[in-house]
Amino acid sequence: MSSILNRVQLFLTEANKASVPISSTIINEFGEACKNAFIKQFVEERETKFKPRMSSIGRPLCQLQMEKSGAEAETPPYNSKMRFIFGDLVEALAVAILKSSGIKIDDFQKKVKYVFGDDEINGTYDVKIMDKIWDIKSASPYAFQYKFGESGGFNALLKDDPFGYVPKDIYMQGQMIKNLEGGLLLINLQENGL
């Protein structure tokens, strides 16, 4: 992680001094990712039938059972879509900055599937760098410091891990279905840094 962080910080430091060359490919990919984020959050129809997803791993079993039973979910707060799209946009920006920093991204937003019997679990991983899967997350200053950062660090995440980050490799019937061996690329939204 330190080599990634160092390269990003060096690139951003140089960008503060003067304009930096960014390829038109990276700019176009960023624009496309932003457009797709908007479509995903506001235009696409969501599947209403319960289906386990890789992003569900780590959520409480009782919550998944309630979803599967068809229990009516609480209406999300009015600003939920805005929070979700901010996360998508921050992720797109992080990838553009990573690429502009000279970091080779092997894969981005790759769909993955694990089939078992007549069922399957689908998901998408964020980014693959140096043959390792990384999850890109934006965090409030509080979460950055107390959930992921120095004040709470990994020990705080061990106590409260609603997204299942702690078990970096998750196995189902002996096969790995989720691998975060790279870890988290966390963006502090107050400082806007990695």
Q: How confident is the model at residue 172 (pLDDT cuts 50, 70, 90)?
A: very low
pLDDT value of position 186 = 74
Statement: the pTM of the whole predicted model exceeds 0.85: no
So what's the pLDDT on residue 190? Answer: 67
**Other residues' Cβ atoms within 10 Å of the Cβ of residue 96:** 18
The pLDDT tens digits of the residues spanning 26-51 come to: 999 999 999 999 999 999 887 777 77
Q: Phi and psi of 9, rounded to 5°?
A: -65, -40
Give the residue, 153 or 140, on which the prediction is more confident: 140
Burial class (CB in 10 A: 0-12, 13-18, 19+), 122: middle
Domain range annotation of the chain: 2-188
